């Protein structure tokens, strides 16, 4: 919430998990006790460029037990004599004030801290993903063996089915051939019978003609 002309923190929502808060370049002059109530887990607080003038205003930050870094740069309070010593004495939980510790060692960049936190999270994730849980490979091998057995059974059933289909097909073919042969034999016998009947008829006709000639004589 930097540079938004904020003058009071009275309506700040409850943010119990918030660790870093940017309030720079506003017109805040007091009421910092609200931060301990609404954001108790703050580790970094930037109040630079505000209207904070005296130590009594900053004293309210003593209840931020996790606060490690505080920035009051460009606030009027920085013009006080022994400003840095007074703040470190008043807020003994902080390590860095305006980007430097008591020995004037510069604070690590906040982005680098984020990267370090991210790297730790990545390492934890990599450890989790490093390998499958114990027994997982054995279960996988058993599943593969079961799949192979199922495929073999399916193949054998398919082979038997194919043989049955082939046998039944051949048997049908043989039966059909026999029926065709029977039909052919029956047709041949009918033709022979017809020929015999025709010959008998001709013979009868000739006999009748012969009888007629004898009567004429």
> What DSSP state is assigned to residue 134?
T
Q: Which residue is associated with the tokens 């680098």?
A: 112
3-state helix, strand, coil in the chain (%, to 5): 60, 5, 35
Q: How far apart are CA 116 and CA 177, in angstroms?
A: 88
For each of the chain's 217 residues, which pLDDT tens digit applies?
A: 999 999 999 999 999 999 999 999 999 999 999 999 999 999 999 999 999 999 999 999 999 999 999 999 999 999 999 999 999 999 999 999 999 999 999 988 755 555 555 555 555 555 555 555 555 555 556 666 666 666 565 555 555 444 445 565 556 665 565 555 555 445 555 566 666 666 666 656 566 565 555 555 4
Q: How far apart are CA 111 and CA 29, in angstroms?
A: 28
pLDDT value of residue 107: 85
Q: Is 97 helix (H, G, I), strand (E, B) or coil?
A: strand
The answer to whether the beta carbons of residues 69 and 94 sit under 8 Å apart is yes
Q: How far apart are CA 179 and CA 172, in angstroms?
A: 10
**Alpha helices of 74-135 — where are they, by DSSP H?**
83-90, 110-129
pLDDT value of residue 72: 97
């Amino acid at each position: 919430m930097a540079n938004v002309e904020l003058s009071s923190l009275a309506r700040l929502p409850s943010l119990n998990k918030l660790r870093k808060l940017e309030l720079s370049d506003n017109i805040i002059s007091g009421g910092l006790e609200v931060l301990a109530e609404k954001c108790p887990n703050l580790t970094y607080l930037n109040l630079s460029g505000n209207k904070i003038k005296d130590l009594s205003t900053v004293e309210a930050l003593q209840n931020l037990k996790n606060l490690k870094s505080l920035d009051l740069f460009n606030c009027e309070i920085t013009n006080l004599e022994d400003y840095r010593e007074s703040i470190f004495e008043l807020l003994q939980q902080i390590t860095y004030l305006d980007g430097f510790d008591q020995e004037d060692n510069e604070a690590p960049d906040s982005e680098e801290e984020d990267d370090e936190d991210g790297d730790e999270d990545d390492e934890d994730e990599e450890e989790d993903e490093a390998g499958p849980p114990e027994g997982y490979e054995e279960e996988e091998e058993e599943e593969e063996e079961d799949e192979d057995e199922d495929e073999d059974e399916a193949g054998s059933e398919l082979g038997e089915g194919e043989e049955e289909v082939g046998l039944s097909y051949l048997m049908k073919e043989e039966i059909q051939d026999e029926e065709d042969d029977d039909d052919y034999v029956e047709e041949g016998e009918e033709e022979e019978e017809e020929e015999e009947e025709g010959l008998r008829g001709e013979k009868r006709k000739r006999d009748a003609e012969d009888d007629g000639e004898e009567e004429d004589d």
